[in-house]
Amino acid sequence: MLLFPPVLWAQEGCTLSIEGHIVSESNGPLPNAEVLLQGTERGTTTDKDGNFRITGLCHGEFVLEVRFVGYETQWIRAVAGDTHVAIQLHPESKNLQEVVVREKHVQIDKSTTYAILEGASLDKTAGKSLGESLKALPGVNTVQAGPGIFKPVIHGVHSQRVLILNHGIRQEGQQWGAEHAPEIDPFIASNIMVIKDAGAIKYGTDALGGVIVVNPAPLPEKAGLGGTLNTVMQSNGRSGTISGMLEGGLKKLDGWGWRMQGTAKRAGDYHAPDYSLTNTGVSEFDFSTAAGYHGEKFGADIFYSYFQTELGILRGSAISNLDDLVTAMESEPPIGTTSFSYDINPPRQEVKHNLLKINSHWSRPGGEWRFQYGYQSNFRKEFDIRRADLSSLPALDLELRTHTLEAEYEMTNSKGQQFCFGINGMYQDNRNVPGTQRIPFIPNYTSIAGGPFAVGKFTLSQWTLDIGTRYDVRSYEVVGFDFKNTRYTSSLLFHNVSASAGISRPLDKHQTIKLNLSSAWRPPHVAELYSLGTHQSAAAIEYGLLLNDSTNEVMDISEVPFQLEQALKAVATYEYSSERFQAEATVYANTIFNFIYLQPRGVTTTLRGTYPYFRYTQTDALFVGLDAEADYTLNPHFTLNGKLSLLSATDIRNDDYLVFIPSNRLELGLRYQAAKHQFYVEPRVNFVARQHRAPRVITVREFQEAIDNGGDPLGGSTKNFDFMEAPPGYVLAGIAAGYSWPLGEGRLDLRVAAENLFNSSYREYTNRLRYYADDIGRNFSVSLKYMF
């Protein structure tokens, strides 16, 4: 980026202004585009007609930086006083410029490798959950627990190793569980970004795989009313989703803006090509509201959101012991399959999440202060199939309350170097709500965490350098009940340092390279240390790392050879962009030392029968992969698109493979765009390879035979195993078409799509219900979006 000397403003007698009009390539106005005065902290956004005005300027020439998500950032020179500037923005190529959201809480460095869903690519995922939506990005996959529960996976890792930032706040839910989906309504986002480096230093620990950033649109700052109405209907699951948003500014009160938004979704049983997937319905209701003021020097926002979902889990996956597992695996259709219904019965999950956020920024000459407070409460109830009276009681009933507080100061010096210093703090309380009539799976705890950070950006001729470091502390006070239902307590304290360095440079006008090296760590989660119990769909018992191997008693952390989990990740990206061809390729290697995972340890018998048991253990894991995406414009009407994700994940300490690692996949698409930009057709094909890098297979029957013959089914080895072979690879075809009309003051978009067009039966390796049922069959969807 070019650098310009800072300009002074708003001094005595500085009364000039710059006005302008910003349009898209098709000459339509671009509302909410950001216009910044280079070298200052000043800026504004365009109104709904694409107009902007920056006042209080002194004489002189200024450089305006114009940004709009999905478009290339432009810089233009303008003279204060007599200028009306007209700027046309062009859709961004793969060669993305720096993207900064209005609040600047989520800032992307130039050397950062990331992928983004916004505009049309986000619209395509309307009606899907956050996790499922992100599958559209190369390098991002999901672990699933049926058709409704998707957990995002970045470069092979998920749950505690992926950080989610929702409106700038670290999402705190029961994210330790692989079947616990993020508690976020994707309709609240104007873009969703996935940062693939481990070094998103400003947001704290845990970003070993990467960061998912859910960004809202900036609040309006001018009077007027705008809004969006989305409706999505899908044939599979017979689902309906409706989401509406209304926003506006206040008359005569420039800078004030507000927004209200809500979503409701209802789906019944999904169906595989040959049978109904009984009890896989979804019921969701969300709303959010925001208000704020953004002036020239000061701005503040308040945001509140509520998310509520009820999710059914496939009836045929509810099992007790190994015998039940054999029956469930060998039954097709799954046990308990009935005809379509909207009913959601046990096993099911009920989740509620509240988020309240208050943030402000205050510009001073040469720098800006920012403060942010967030409060989240997360309520999770899981209902298993239990003896009559107990089925109405949750088997798991957790409340998690989290306060976060952040302060930072960012400054740019006269050489254009940028520094940011800050501190984050968190207080968290996890509580088991009494009355489950089960020994809690994880204990109660309170946690205090936080630390300072510093990041800097430097430019050396063509090179841009981003470096950052932070120090974090996390404490836990734990109170729980062990296997004998005896109370135990413990106190834990962890601390460590993270650091990140990235460089980028353009090689010529078509090519850019980026390299990022980062070291991140995470404190262990209480679930990994103390969990105890069975999962109803797994027929396996899990023990935490701090439970004694032979006695099951809770031990002090000093009694086990525990070491902090730490990742060293290197990511290199090459970008090529010309008028007709854009490509981006990212290679990465992530070594996670002391990687905590569930290791199969043996078999235990209870009066209910036999169970394999797993214990949280540490090893070293290596994730190496490649993500690539390319677009080739054949002519003004046809564009070819391809996305490729390759990944190999190994346990390098034990020379073994890890379980539930996404297999290699390729997506190819062709897009036909009519001349007037109003009609398009998009066929696409997804090729998903079989996961050949999977652990050994010990079938349940082999397990039982070994037990019956008095042998050890694991053969004395603690190598990973799976009860079933990885399913074969599969190919899915889909097609979508869309059309847009101007309607009144706004625009109406229609999109019709068919997924799994040929109704193929297949199973996805990373879907935990692959043991019991096929994945979903053909799905038609119709979505309508009205914007004004």
Partner 1 sequence: MKPCSFFSKSVSRTTAIVLALALLAGCSKDDPQKEDTPELITKATLTFTPVGGGTPVVISATDPDGEGVQDIVVDGPINLATSTQYALTIDLLNTLVTVGQPGYSITEEVEEEGQEHMFFFGWTGAVFQTPSGDGNIDNRADEVNYVDVDAGGLPIGLITTWTSAGSAGSGTFRVVLKHQPGTKTASSGSTVGETDLDLTFTINIQ
Residues in the chain: 788
- Residue 104: Cβ within 10 Å count: 15
Secondary structure of 76-145 in HEC code, one letter for each residue: EEEECCCCEEEEECCECCCCCCCCECCCCCCECCCCCCEEEEECHHHHCCCCCCHHHHHCCCCCEEEEEC
Q: State the amino acid at position 520 in one-letter form.
A: A
Among the candidate windows 401-409, 503-511, 638-646, 761-769, which touches partner 1 by CB under 8 A?
Answer: 401-409
* Closest distance of CB 432 from partner 1, Å: 6
- Measured distance CA(125)–CA(143) in Å, rounded: 18
Q: How far is the CB of 718 from partner 1 (least distance, A)?
A: 14
With contacts defined by CB under 8 A, how many residues of the chain interact with partner 1? 70
Among 72, 123, 254, 324, binds partner 1 (CB under 8 A): 324
Minimum distance from residue 436 beta carbon to partner 1 (Å): 6
Nearest distance, CB of residue 427 and partner 1, angstroms: 5
E strand or H helix at 4: none
Which lies closer to partner 1 via its Cβ, residue 420 or residue 754? 420
Radius of gyration of the chain (CA): 27
Note whether 105 binds partner 1 by CB under 8 A.
no
Minimum distance, C-beta of residue 355 to partner 1, in the bound complex (Å): 16
10 Å Cβ neighbour count for 13? 7
What character string, x for contact with partner 1 (CB under 8 A) and - otherwise, covers 520-539? ------------xxx-----
Q: 381 or 751: whose CB is closer to partner 1?
A: 381
Residue closer to partner 1 by CB (options 476, 588) is 476
Residues between 336 and 395 with contacts to partner 1, criterion CB under 8 A: 336, 385-391
Sign of CA dihedral 628, 132, 209, 543: negative
Contact status: 630 vs partner 1 (CB under 8 A): no
Among 407, 568, 570, 668, binds partner 1 (CB under 8 A): 407
Question: 174: closest CA among 346, 353, 440?
Answer: 353
Strand partners, 589: 570, 624
**Residue 604 interacts with partner 1 (CB under 8 A)?**
yes
Rounded Cα gap, residues 458 and 468, in angstroms: 11
Report the alpha-carbon angle 485-487-488, nearest 5: 125
Told to check if 26 binds partner 1 by CB under 8 A, we report no
Residue 224 makes contact with partner 1 by CB under 8 A: no
Nearer of residues 152 and 480 to partner 1, judged by Cβ? 480
Residue 604 Cβ vs partner 1, minimum distance, rounded to whole Å: 5
Q: Rounded to the nearest whole angstrom, what is the least distance from the CB of residue 44 to partner 1 in the complex?
A: 27
Residues 6+ apart with CB under 8 A from 689: 663, 664, 665, 729
The residue from 339, 550, 558, 709 that contacts partner 1 (CB under 8 A) is 550
Among 178-186, 480-488, 586-594, 753-761, the segment contacting partner 1 (CB under 8 A): 480-488
Among 61, 274, 549, 745, binds partner 1 (CB under 8 A): 549
Q: Is 140 in the site for partner 1 (CB under 8 A)?
A: no
Closest distance of CB 466 from partner 1, Å: 18
Based on CB atoms, which residue is closest to partner 1, 606 or 717? 606
Containing H/E element for 701? Answer: helix 700-708
Part in contact with partner 1 (CB under 8 A); list of ranges 89-97, 256-264, 442-450, 590-598: 442-450
Could you say which DSSP state residue 557 is in? Answer: G
Q: Of the listed pieces 155-163, 166-174, 432-440, 765-773, which binds partner 1 according to CB under 8 A? A: 432-440
Contacts for 692-695 with beta carbons within 8 Å, 24 or more apart? 692/663, 692/726, 693/648, 693/649, 693/650, 693/657, 693/661, 694/657, 694/659, 694/661, 694/722, 694/725, 694/726, 694/765, 695/656, 695/657, 695/658, 695/659, 695/719, 695/720, 695/721, 695/722
Contact by Cβ (8 Å): 8, 21: no
| Binding region for partner 1 (CB under 8 A) | 318-321, 323-324, 327, 335-336, 385-391, 401, 403, 405, 407, 409, 411, 419, 421, 423, 425-427, 429, 431-432, 434-440, 443-444, 446, 448, 450, 452, 454, 479-481, 483-485, 487, 532-534, 541, 543, 549-552, 602, 604-610, 613
